[in-house]
Amino acid sequence: MVELSEANAQFIAERFKALGDPMRLRLLQALRAGERSVGELAERTGGGQANVSKHLQVLLQQGYVDRRKEGTTSWYRITDPEVFTMCNLVCGGLEEELGRKRKLLRRR
């Protein structure tokens, strides 16, 4: 494992932070099926064009997605499906969380 120096903590935190936004997660989800243009992604996620474009820059900079330009349209795609492994890991935590909440509700 990479040593968690101060500089590395900064890098790793930024990688996590890039995944810490619902819109960006939905973008990744939408890209799961394959390459998509910005317009398609805006439509599928229900976000504004500018907003989607900016979020894609974040994912691009962190290397989660890749871009291919064709004419005036930009095609984005997942670079490393490993990102979904991480989603599954936190989803595990999510299921526990939901279980905990269901318990709490039952207790009342």
- Asked if 57 touches a second copy (CB under 8 A), the answer is no
Q: CA dihedral in degrees (58, 62, 66, 69; nearest 10)?
A: 50
Q: Which does 16 bind (CB under 5 to 8 A by kind): a second copy, DNA, none?
A: a second copy
- Residues 6 or more apart whose Cβ sits within 8 Å of residue 65: 27, 28, 31, 56, 59, 76, 77, 78, 79
Shorter beta-carbon distance to a second copy: residue 8 or 73: 8
CA distance 44 to 61: 22
Span interacting with DNA, options 20-28, 80-88, 90-98, 100-108, rule CB under 7 A: 20-28
Least separation in angstroms between residue 58's CB and DNA is 6
Spatial distance between the Cα atoms of 34 and 36, rounded to a whole number of angstroms: 6
User: Residue 35: which of DNA, a second copy, none does it interact with, CB under 5 to 8 A by kind?
Assistant: none
DSSP class of residue 34 equals S
At residue 76, φ and ψ (nearest 5 deg) are -105, 150
Report the interface residues with DNA, using CB under 7 A.
Answer: 17, 21-24, 37-39, 42, 47-51, 53-58, 67, 71-74
Where on the chain is the footprint of a second copy (CB under 8 A)?
1-2, 4, 6, 8-26, 29, 62-63, 80, 82, 84-97, 100
